[in-house]
């Protein structure tokens, strides 16, 4: 399920970036939201009984994931263009909140509602959220941007990758989010195993939903804090500190036994997780030109969300030969490495990447 939902970001995000820079972004958001709404209703219909068709379910999930993969770069490209330059950092931070927190809060709410109303109605409610998006985007005035003329088809396809390679800050940000997703985020995929094995909590229980919701609450507060209480701090420093504290929290999370301590530690883990992701996304987005923002944002999505299913497959193989703890402890240690590596200060303020790697 998770693989079918996220792998489209690896496969199709590039095309989402291309259409975001070629066509009316407002209309793209509307029609892609409609596609995802229909897909969610299809899932609700499929899972209304216990003997549902699994291939049909996976196909519907893949369809919703494809819509999200195409729409993601469009969303990332639109929000920064809606505010004056002096408010750009705040807008990017808020956009990061809406895009990233939904990854955690959605499953957290779904886990609680699943126990109360069942899977089918959860997806009906999910479909209703797309109606809100479609109505909202109808009343939003999206500024027109100057498209680059004379671009070949090849330029449109690789333009985002070329931009990433040419800007040292963007390149390091993309490399950071790629390594973070690959090595540190498998704990999200392994969360059910952690709950059932380490804490003896059933994944179908209300307690499991509350544990995940606590993690999600920490994520919401962490993401919002980047544009509020942490707004006066140097965001590059916020990123590196959050990498270190995320690593410590993740190590503590896999070490504890029993659900009692999992609540406060899970809250801190979610908090530092999304301070990290939101500050990293904010730095990345603030470097982009509007005319190519969609394609460069697509590269970000491929390295962030698109890497997760691949990381999950690798983590599953390691778990089968070792243990869940091995994967999660390695992720915690790697986050400490990223606290050193993720130096996203402007080029004139920091050591070049090649020289850093030689040390």
Give residue-wise pLDDT tens across range 248-274.
Answer: 999 999 999 888 999 999 999 999 998
Domain-wise residue ranges, the chain: 2-142+153-346
**Cα–Cα distance, 359 to 344 (Å, whole number):** 17
Query: For the whole model, what pTM was predicted?
Result: 0.80
Burial 80-119 (b: 16+ CB within 10 A, else e): beeeeeeebbebbbbbbbebbbebbbebbbbbbbbeeeeb
> Which whole-number Å values give the CA distances from 314 to 158, 172, 320, 350, in the listed order?
28, 24, 10, 34
- Supply the CATH classification number for the domain 2-142+153-346: 1.20.1250.20
Summarised one tens digit per residue, pLDDT across range 65-107 is 899 888 888 887 787 677 766 666 667 667 666 665 566 666 6
150: left (phi over 0), alpha (psi -120 to 50) or beta: left
**Cα–Cα distance, 302 to 229 (Å, whole number):** 30
How far is it between the farthest Cα atoms of the chain?
A: 61
Cβ atoms of 28 and 71 within 8 Å: the answer is: yes
Retrieve residue 358's tokens. Answer: 């030689």
In this structure, the chain runs to a length of: 359
Summarised one tens digit per residue, pLDDT across range 28-75 is 999 999 999 999 999 999 988 777 788 898 999 999 989 988 888 888
């Amino acid at each position: 399920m998770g693989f079918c939902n996220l792998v489209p970001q690896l496969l199709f995000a590039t095309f989402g970036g291309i259409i975001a820079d070629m066509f009316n972004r407002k209309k793209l958001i509307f029609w892609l939201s409609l596609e995802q709404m229909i897909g969610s209703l299809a899932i609700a219909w499929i899972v209304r009984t216990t003997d549902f068709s699994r291939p049909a379910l996976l196909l519907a999930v893949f369809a919703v994931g494809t819509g999200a993969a195409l729409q993601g770069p469009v969303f990332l490209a639109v929000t920064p263009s809606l505010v004056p330059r002096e408010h750009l950092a705040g807008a990017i931070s808020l956009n990061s909140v809406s895009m990233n927190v939904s990854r955690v809060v959605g499953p957290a709410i779904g886990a609680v509602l699943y126990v109360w109303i069942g899977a089918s109605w959860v997806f009906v409610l999910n479909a209703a959220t797309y109606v809100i998006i479609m109505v909202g985007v109808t009343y939003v005035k999206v500024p027109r941007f100057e498209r680059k003329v004379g671009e070949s088809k090849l330029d449109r396809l690789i333009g985002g990758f070329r931009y990433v390679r040419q800007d040292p800050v963007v390149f390091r940000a993309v490399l950071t989010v790629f390594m973070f997703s690959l090595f540190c985020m498998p704990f999200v995929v392994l969360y059910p195993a952690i709950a059932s094995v380490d804490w003896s909590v059933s994944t179908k229980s209300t307690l499991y939903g509350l544990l995940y919701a606590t993690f999600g609450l920490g994520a919401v507060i962490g993401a919002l804090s980047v544009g509020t209480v942490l707004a006066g701090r140097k965001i590059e420093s916020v990123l590196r500190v959050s990498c270190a504290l995320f690593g410590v929290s993740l190590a503590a999370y896999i070490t504890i036994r029993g659900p009692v301590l999992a609540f406060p530690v899970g809250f801190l883990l979610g908090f530092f997780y999304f301070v990290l992701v939101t500050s990293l996304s904010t730095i990345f987005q603030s470097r982009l030109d509007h005319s190519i923002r969609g394609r460069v944002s697509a590269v970000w999505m491929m390295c962030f969300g698109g890497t997760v299913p691949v990381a999950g497959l690798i983590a599953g193989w390691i778990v089968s030969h070792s243990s869940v703890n091995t994967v999660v402890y390695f992720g915690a240690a790697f986050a400490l490495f990223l606290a050193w590596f993720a130096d996203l200060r402007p080029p004139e303020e920091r050591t070049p990447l090649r020289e850093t790697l030689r040390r």
